[in-house]
Amino acid sequence: MLTKLKNSEPTVQDMDDLIIELKGLLSSKRYLIILDDVWVTDLWNQYLKHALPDVGNGSRVLMTSRFIEVAQSADPIMEPYELKILNDEDSRDLLIKKAFPYQKTSENFPNDLLELADELSKKCKGLPLALIVLGGILLTKDQTYTAWENELRTMDWHSKGKDCIDIIAMSYEDMPYYLKTCFLFLASFPEDYKISARCLIKMWVADGFMPQQGRKTMEEIAEDCLEQLFQRSMIQVSSRHANGSIKYCRVHDLLLDFAMHQAGKENFVTIFANPQDINHCDRATRRASLQSCGAQLTEYVGLKTRSLFLFDLKGNLLMSYSEFRLLRVLVIEVVWSDEEIVKLRGIDRLIHLKYLGISNCGILDMSECSLGRLKNLETVDIRRNNMISNLTTDLWTIDTLKYVLCHELLPEIPSTADLRNLQTLEWILFDNKTIPHLNNLRRLGLESKSIHWDVDHALPHLLGGLSSLTSLKIKSCESNLPMEIIYPKALPYYQNLQILYLDGQWPESVTLKASLFPSHLVKLTLCYSCLGQDPMSELAKLNNLKELVLTTDVYNGRQMICSAGFPVLQKLVILSLTVKILTVAKGVMPKLKYLRIYDHCKVEAPPELLHSITLF
């Protein structure tokens, strides 16, 4: 909660201090806070009720739970509202809505299918999740009476008598084999975990789940599989990228329970929820997920383990990984501490490793491993760590690398490096040197520590051959970023660029114009631009823009005016302390779904637009 309010990680860890900080932030605000799926009474009684101030300004807290005693404990006076199961008509409508996502109503719906929809929906006994999952099954079938009648006739509706679980099991059995493995893989993640779609796709590919399909890449096939799981309602999409692809997803608790049960039954994934479980583990397990198991990991040696997940780890980790000889996927996520040191001992012996993801480390020390020995490595994701030490240039000797992501500057790439497979690279130091063999690069993050660039030659030399580039991020450590570098005449291959991030001050000699940007941009982020003019009139001319983010010191004025344009903009974020008024004319931003601003900023807009506002 504090992370959302402050847009940064809390600076304290003690629970009493966290309560005081949260209470202080909320005391001057009118808020609505939703606590979803609360399991224990202690969460409210011991912590949250002391952190959420009631100052009589109309603030409210909405809590949902599966357990009546949790609701009664939180408010002994008010009668809890108990959700009822859906009636027959609502059940049928929900089933049709899922099976026919583009059919807004049941009007003009084929009568024969309507009758079958009635029968099928009654099998779900009014349970929304069961109806949604069943609708996901029907969505994959022919929309004919014969196909639907076959589902009604052939499904085992009385196998276990557990209603929703039975429907989930039927949906699982209806999947092709490769989609089953993708779904069972989700059992590796903790409950309510926010899963990065891009990371998940890379893990699936690294573990070898994807079948070859024509000329599609493994990543494209994996992305299709993720969309199929969503269509079948086996995952929930938390958010999407500006280009429409899934950004983050989650797994419903009941679906996760089923995945964990099925994964255990098929010996697909073994879950260790506490340290005691490790003592009774099967060393032959192929995938293991250790959750909140402290630092007792030296007890676990998986000779046949292909994927290893280490979540919420505590303690100074000096684990040896050298015995995991068949490991392909390694994910390490520790409990955040600024001074915690994580050393990767023996990782350079994992010759089959393809995916390495490490996050939340205070200090990630790479001194005891030489990544250059991992000749099959495809993904190195070490973005979300406080500090990284001893990462050396031998990383660039791996010619299988596809994705390298780090929030700090990566080691300098030697001119002899062969990185022809590299698709994602963030962040590297930008200078006048040419970096060879990056022709397949799609995402690139550049950082400059000097304003003395040869802007007419340096960037074109670096990006001139990058015809596949779809995302470009540029940030400056200095006070000036010469924005002439983004001028289209210097970048002949800009037509594929969809995402642009620019962090740095624009020189006074450059006026922001829509013509400075690629016409096909779908997402634009500007930060520390220090513009002297309102940028909205020019940015509104970017007709393909779906997401616009304007953050710290982007504009020195007090008012932004949107009088026209933004025909497909869906998300607008303005986090600038100087902007006090945002004016939006009628008919502007007709597709806007999300508006995020600081709460000191006044919004002048038509009523139909105001429903999308989220104040921060």
pLDDT tens digits for range 120-151: 888 888 888 889 999 999 998 888 889 888 88
Mean pLDDT of 524-541: 92
Helix (H, G, I), strand (E, B) or coil at 195: strand
Instruction: For residues 162 and 173, give the distance between their C-alpha atoms in angstroms, rounded to a whole number.
Output: 16
Residue 376 to residues 96, 350, 451, 552: CA-CA distances in angstroms?
47, 9, 38, 41
Instruction: For residues 354 and 187, give the distance between their C-alpha atoms in angstroms, rounded to a whole number.
Output: 20
Residues in the chain: 616
Worst-scoring range by mean pLDDT, 81-95, 267-281, 396-410, 455-469? 455-469
Instruction: For residues 609 and 614, give the distance between their C-alpha atoms in angstroms, rounded to a whole number.
Output: 12
Mean pLDDT of 375-384: 94
Mean pLDDT of 245-272: 93
Q: Which residues of 116-134 are buried (b: 16+ CB within 10 A; e: fewer)?
A: bbeebbebbebbebbbbbb
Instruction: For residues 153 and 170, give the distance between their C-alpha atoms in angstroms, rounded to a whole number.
Output: 13
With residues binned 3-state (H G I as helix, E B as strand, rest as coil), the percentages for the chain, rounded to 5, are 30, 20, 50
Query: Tell me, what's the pLDDT at 178?
Result: 95
Q: Class assignment of domain 177-261?
A: mainly alpha
* 325 CB-near residues (< 8 Å, 6+ apart): 303, 349, 350, 351, 352
299 or 68: which carries more pLDDT confidence?
68
Instruction: For residues 491 and 457, give the distance between their C-alpha atoms in angstroms, rounded to a whole number.
Output: 10
Query: Tell me, what's the pLDDT at 76?
Result: 85
Residue 298: is its pLDDT beyond 70?
Answer: no
432 or 6: which carries more pLDDT confidence?
6
162 or 483: which carries more pLDDT confidence?
162
Residue 380: is its pLDDT beyond 90?
Answer: yes
Instruction: For residues 20 and 6, give the distance between their C-alpha atoms in angstroms, rounded to a whole number.
Output: 14
> Do 52 and 26 touch, CB atoms closer than 8 A?
yes
Helix (H, G, I), strand (E, B) or coil at 216: coil
> Do 478 and 450 touch, CB atoms closer than 8 A?
yes
152 or 274: which carries more pLDDT confidence?
152
Q: Which residues of 323-353 are buried (b: 16+ CB within 10 A; e: fewer)?
A: ebeebbbbbbbbebbeebebbbbebbbbebb
Mean pLDDT of 392-416: 91
> Do 539 and 524 touch, CB atoms closer than 8 A?
yes
Token code pair at residue 419: 């990185």
Mean pLDDT of 498-510: 82
Mean pLDDT of 587-610: 85
Query: Tell me, what's the pLDDT at 230?
Result: 95
- List pLDDT tens digits, range 325-352: 899 999 988 766 666 778 777 888 899 9
- 506: DSSP letter: P
* 271 CB-near residues (< 8 Å, 6+ apart): 187, 188, 260, 263, 264, 277, 289, 291
> Do 197 and 204 touch, CB atoms closer than 8 A?
no
491 or 447: which carries more pLDDT confidence?
447
Query: Tell me, what's the pLDDT at 228?
Result: 95
- List pLDDT tens digits, range 163-211: 688 889 989 999 999 999 999 999 999 998 999 999 999 999 999 999 8
Average pLDDT over the chain reads: 83
Query: Tell me, what's the pLDDT at 486?
Result: 44
Question: What DSSP element (H or E) covers 34?
Answer: strand 32-35
Query: Tell me, what's the pLDDT at 462?
Result: 62
Q: What is the pTM of this model?
A: 0.86
Residue 520 to residues 79, 220, 375, 469: CA-CA distances in angstroms?
54, 21, 37, 12
Residue 512, by phi and psi: left (phi above 0), alpha (psi -120 to 50) or beta? beta
Q: Which residue in 211, 262, 213 sits closest to 234, CA to CA?
A: 262
- List pLDDT tens digits, range 70-80: 888 888 888 88
CA angle 44, 45, 47 (to 5 degrees): 65
Distance linking the first and last C-alpha atoms of the chain: 12
Mean pLDDT of 433-455: 70
Q: Which residue in 373, 262, 337, 263 sits closest to 307, CA to CA?
A: 263
Which CATH number applies to 269-411: 3.80.10, 3.30.470, 3.10.450, 3.40.50?
Answer: 3.80.10
* Residues in a beta bridge with 567: none
Residue 12: is its pLDDT beyond 50?
Answer: yes
Worst-scoring range by mean pLDDT, 78-87, 164-173, 286-295, 547-556? 286-295
CA angle 258, 176, 144 (to 5 degrees): 100
Instruction: For residues 407 and 425, give the distance between their C-alpha atoms in angstroms, rounded to a whole number.
Output: 11
Choose the most confident range, by mean pLDDT, from 90-99, 332-341, 371-380: 371-380
As a whole number of Å, the CA-based R_g of the chain is 26
> pLDDT band for position 452 (50/70/90)?
very low
> Do 206 and 328 touch, CB atoms closer than 8 A?
yes
CA dihedral angle for residue 219, residue 223, residue 225, residue 227, rounded to 10 degrees: 180
Q: Which residue in 427, 319, 405, 325 sits closest to 365, CA to CA?
A: 319
Helices (H), 486-563: 536-539
- Report the percent of the chain where pLDDT is more than 70: 83
Query: Tell me, what's the pLDDT at 492?
Result: 40
In angstroms, how far is CA 229 from the centroid of its own chain? 16
- List pLDDT tens digits, range 577-590: 888 999 999 999 99
Query: Tell me, what's the pLDDT at 456?
Result: 47
Mean pLDDT of 425-449: 78
Question: What DSSP element (H or E) covers 560?
Answer: strand 559-562
* 123 CB-near residues (< 8 Å, 6+ apart): 134, 152, 157, 167
- Report the percent of the chain where pLDDT is more than 90: 33
Question: What DSSP element (H or E) covers 137?
Answer: helix 128-139
